[in-house]
């Protein structure tokens, strides 16, 4: 079986890999053909041996034909699936690949190398993917299923995954020099470092940097006894995915106050939802640093204000910090959700500074939701979704298309058309 991951030790190896990828681009491959392989890959990932990979369920959903066809059609035009020209008045347009697209995924999202490279492959490109050291094993297991799903090598010949230490600046530079497009993911320090690499002047760069996400519910939603259990399950599901490390993970839940109505019953239901989610998806391991951060957050929260409350088990498995206020607290992660009561949901939204990526909503009032969505959009929020769907990877993402940035949209005005 072909191993798509290669341990590289010299810049020449990366240059050679890029040259091989360019040769693979001589044959055209339509998005429809790419999707056929990816859909087969999705089916192969429905395997219990892969259930320990964080985000595997969402990767399967993302790779399905139904998910990808709508994205390609929206971004590349109605004829984009077959890589044909789209009529546009007196002209026509068509997507052409950039060439070799480099991918620098974040080291804390296990499925991100796979997600990132599919965006480039759908545009007809080849993918040169740097695999963070901590993700080599998980990515190798996912890639092995892709090889099985692609016996003719339609996509695998267009993929090269390279593994090397992040401090090998010579290899980082070599990778940057050979790509025509780049997709960068991760924290501020990592993104700034990669953006400073010597990319060719024509390289298209798409950046998905560090941000946080927030959840909010109006009084009509959280106070609806018949719907409380469903809403709380959705919140717990969003917190548990990716162990709350993804940019789309909710770090705080704002609850709109209701006069003479206590949130006690809702919080009790939320606690049970957290307990149930923890039982269904128990933590396999936790670092000492995260354990320390969780314990410190619990203690600091309770000592900083006598009105603060907290709910948590004796272990660091999950934590609910309860209080009031419109400011977003510093994220702790590790399944730690701060729940804050506010007089109006517009109060916290008015304080957003562009760092909030996703706003997960549970609303009973449609008109109020429209006002919140408009206010959030003005304050830099790129995704506004229903609670329980905060991690559904779709386009646009972070306000950007996912396939279109890695293609050239060529416009053709026909010289043989007498109408011109």
**Domain range annotation of the chain:** 5-209+398-412, 212-386
Tell which CATH classification among 3.40.50.300, 3.40.50.970, 3.30.70.1400, 3.40.605.10 matches the domain 5-209+398-412: 3.40.605.10
Distance between CA atoms of residues 65 and 81, nearest Å: 11
Q: What is the pLDDT of residue 420?
A: 55
Bridge partner residues of 163 (DSSP): 7, 131
Q: Where are the alpha helices (DSSP H) in 241-365?
A: 264-280, 288-304, 346-349
- Say how many Å lie between the first and final Cα of the chain, rounded: 55
Q: Are 241 and 396 in contact (CB under 8 A)?
A: no
Q: What is the pLDDT of residue 200?
A: 98
> Which CATH number is 212-386 given?
3.40.309.10
* Chunked mean pLDDT (size 10), the chain, 420 residues: 86 97 95 98 94 89 94 96 93 96 92 95 98 95 96 96 95 98 92 95 93 96 96 97 89 94 94 96 88 96 96 96 96 96 97 94 97 97 95 82 95 81
Q: Are 336 and 297 in contact (CB under 8 A)?
A: yes
Bridge partner residues of 309 (DSSP): 322
Q: Are 252 and 329 in contact (CB under 8 A)?
A: yes
Q: What is the pLDDT of residue 1?
A: 45
Q: Are 417 and 90 in contact (CB under 8 A)?
A: yes
Within 10 A of 217 (CB to CB), how many other CB atoms are there? 25
Residues 6+ apart with CB under 8 A from 9: 164
Q: What is the pLDDT of residue 149?
A: 96
């Amino acid at each position: 079986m072909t191993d798509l991951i290669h341990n590289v030790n010299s810049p020449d190896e990366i240059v050679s890999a890029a040259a091989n990828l360019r040769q693979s681009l001589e044959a055209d491959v339509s998005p429809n053909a790419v999707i056929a392989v990816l859909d087969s890959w999705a089916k192969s990932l429905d395997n219990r041996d892969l259930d320990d990979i964080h985000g595997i369920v969402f990767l399967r959903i993302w790779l399905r034909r139904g998910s990808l066809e709508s994205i390609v059609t929206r971004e590349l035009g109605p004829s984009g699936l077959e890589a044909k020209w789209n009529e546009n008045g007196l002209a026509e347009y068509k997507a052409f690949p950039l060439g070799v697209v480099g991918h620098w995924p974040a080291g804390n999202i296990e499925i991100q190398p796979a997600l990132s490279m599919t965006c480039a492959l759908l545009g007809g490109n080849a993918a040169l993917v740097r695999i963070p050291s901590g993700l080599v094993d998980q990515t190798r297991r996912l890639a092995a299923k892709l090889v099985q799903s692609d016996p003719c090598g339609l996509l695998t010949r267009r993929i090269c995954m390279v593994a090397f230490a992040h401090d090998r600046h010579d290899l980082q530079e070599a990778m940057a020099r050979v790509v025509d497009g780049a997709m960068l993911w991760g924290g501020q320090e990592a993104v700034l470092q990669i953006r400073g690499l010597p990319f060719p002047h024509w390289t298209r760069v798409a950046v998905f940097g560090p941000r946080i996400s927030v959840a909010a519910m109006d009084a009509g939603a959280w106070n609806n006894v018949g719907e409380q259990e469903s809403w709380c399950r959705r919140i717990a599901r969003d917190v548990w995915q990716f162990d709350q490390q993804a940019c789309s993970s909710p770090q705080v839940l704002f609850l709109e106050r209701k006069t003479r109505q206590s949130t006690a019953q809702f919080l009790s239901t939320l606690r049970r939802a957290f307990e149930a989610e923890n039982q269904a998806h128990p933590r396999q391991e936790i670092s000492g640093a995260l354990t320390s951060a969780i314990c410190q957050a619990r203690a600091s929260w309770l000592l900083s204000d006598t009105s603060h409350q907290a709910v948590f088990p004796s272990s660091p498995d999950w934590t609910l910090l309860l209080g009031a206020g419109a400011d977003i607290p510093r994220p702790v992660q590790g399944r730690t959700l701060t729940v804050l009561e506010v007089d109006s949901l517009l109060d916290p939204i008015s304080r957003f500074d562009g760092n909030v990526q996703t706003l997960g909503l549970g609303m009973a009032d449609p008109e109020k939701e429209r006002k919140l969505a408009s206010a959030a959009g003005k304050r830099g929020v790129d995704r506004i979704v229903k609670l329980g769907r905060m991690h559904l990877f779709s386009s646009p993402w972070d306000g950007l298309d996912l396939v279109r940035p890695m293609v050239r949209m060529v416009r053709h005005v026909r010289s043989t058309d007498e109408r011109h």
